Amino acid sequence: MGIRERLSGNEAAAIAMKQINPDVVAAFPITPSTEIPQYFSSFVSNGSVDTEFVAVESEHSAMSACIGAEAAGARAMTATSSNGLSLMWEMIYIASSTRLPIVMSLVNRAVSGPLNIHNDHSDAMGVRDSGWIQLFSENNQEAYDNLLMAHRIAEHKDVLLPLMVCQDGFITSHSIENIELVEDEKVKEFVGTYKPKHYLLNTAEPIAVGPLDLQAYLFEHKRAQAEAMKNAKKVIASVSAEFEKMTGRHYEFFEKYKMDDSEIVIVCMNSTAGTAKYTADCLRENGIKAGVLKVRMFRPFPAEEIAKALANQKAVAVLDKADSLNAAGGPLFEDVTSAMFVNGVFVPTVNYIYGIGGRDTTESEIRNVYMDLIEIAKKGKAENPYRYLGVRSK
């Protein structure tokens, strides 16, 4: 039986880290993720964990310290947001290219400038092709659960890639919700002990980490990373199934909400899924067959599975909380429509950029998206596929 608690998303993340008890945590404060290392530092000081906590001078240093620790054979974790992730950018790529399964809690926040401390997904989208696994979390419970599964996924011998667990800044990170924690001993058994095959402190096998890698080998190493990301799909599915046996909580690559008979569907990520589900419920009361597809696993991207899930819809809207600024739609829209096209699924699909800089997205706005989808379904085509939701016009 789980432990009932009331926690914010940041508290939930810190408690997950406490239960995991990593060897090293290196972090630098940045809103809205600051509370995670702050809470965790109290667990270090009171002896709840035996983690080496490294208070560094920047986020670049935080990821550098995690890389050094992980390469040495330690299990390392960190947390950051927005500009902090941007400052890590060089080391984010080095972490993945050297195949170090670091786990990071990313509390999503708009990337400057202009300066904004509130939520959108521009930070995560900025590193979506960096070679990190990305799991998104609708609520505090999912953020906690994803962190408990993270090391099992990242450290698997067929994966060995770093992993970030994303949650919406302030919306979930600072909001208190009911949550069910797993008992400490069960977490310890589930996560297991980190036993890397190759590491710097292994005196029986001297190795180099991150050496010069020129024309002769870099291509092959990048291909190996791509294969590891493909392998992560089956590992995520397997670990999620094992987690369900322990907790009863079911997680797939994405959640299909009321899609058994749906005709119009919104695709979204993180906390917006809650508003979309509520709106779909309201529309169902009026006989409108609305559904929601909530993406949990963004990297690796479940292209074939999403295309299959959307194949029987009459119209689809993809909501992006970040704009690619490419005149061709947001990053989630690009991936969804690419997946549909490659897999022979031709359903009218539109993109809505929304919520930039923490702009509230209301039930009435989501309802308007569904109303647009009804009209698109009637026409059988989507005019003006690149749209904005909740932005003031000129």
In a domain, 394, yes or no: no
Q: How confident is the model over 258-305, as pLDDT tens digits?
A: 999 999 999 999 999 999 999 999 999 999 999 999 999 999 999 999
Domain CATH number, residue 323: 3.40.50.920
Confidence grade of residue 394 (pLDDT, cut at 50, 70, 90)? low
Which residues contact residue 378 at a Cβ distance below 8 angstroms, ignoring those fewer than 6 apart?
none
Instruction: Say how many domains are in the chain.
Output: 2
280/361 same-domain check: yes
Question: What's the mean pLDDT in 235-260?
Answer: 98
Q: Which long-range contacts (CB under 8 A, 24 or more apart) does 243-250 make?
A: 243/145, 243/148, 243/149, 243/190, 246/182, 246/186, 246/190, 247/2, 247/145, 247/180, 247/182, 249/141, 249/145
Cα separations (Å) of 241 from 141, 152, 153, 260, 327?
17, 12, 12, 22, 39
217/304 same-domain check: no
Which residues contact residue 213 at a Cβ distance below 8 angstroms, ignoring those fewer than 6 apart?
221
For position 222, what pLDDT does the model report?
97
Domain CATH number, residue 150: 3.40.50.970
Buried b (16+ CB within 10 A) or exposed e, 57-91: eebbbbbbbbbbbbbbbbbbbbbbbbbbbbbbeeb
21/99 same-domain check: yes
In a domain, 30, yes or no: yes
185/94 same-domain check: yes
Q: How confident is the model over 155-200, as pLDDT tens digits?
A: 999 999 999 999 999 999 999 999 999 999 999 999 999 999 999 9
300/369 same-domain check: yes
- The overall average pLDDT reported for the chain is 97
End-to-end CA distance of the chain: 55
239/272 same-domain check: no
In a domain, 293, yes or no: yes
Q: Note the pTM of the prediction, 2 decimals.
A: 0.97
Question: How do 52-55 and 24-27 pair as beta strands?
Answer: parallel
- The percentage of residues in the chain with a pLDDT greater than 70, rounded to a whole number, is 99
CB–CB of 3/180 below 8 Å?
Answer: yes
State which of 202, 224, 247 marks the end of a domain: 247
In a domain, 348, yes or no: yes
Question: How do 163-168 and 349-354 pair as beta strands?
Answer: unpaired
State which of 188, 223, 247 marks the end of a domain: 247
d(CA 13, CA 48): 15
205/338 same-domain check: no
In a domain, 101, yes or no: yes
261/242 same-domain check: no
297/318 same-domain check: yes
State which of 247, 276, 296 marks the end of a domain: 247
158/69 same-domain check: yes
Would you tell me how many other CB atoms lie within 10 Å of the CB of residue 383? Answer: 9
- What string of DSSP letters covers 327-347? SS--HHHHHHHHHHHHTT---
Q: How confident is the model over 17-54, as pLDDT tens digits?
A: 999 999 999 999 999 999 999 999 999 999 999 999 99
Containing domain of residue 343, as a range? 254-389
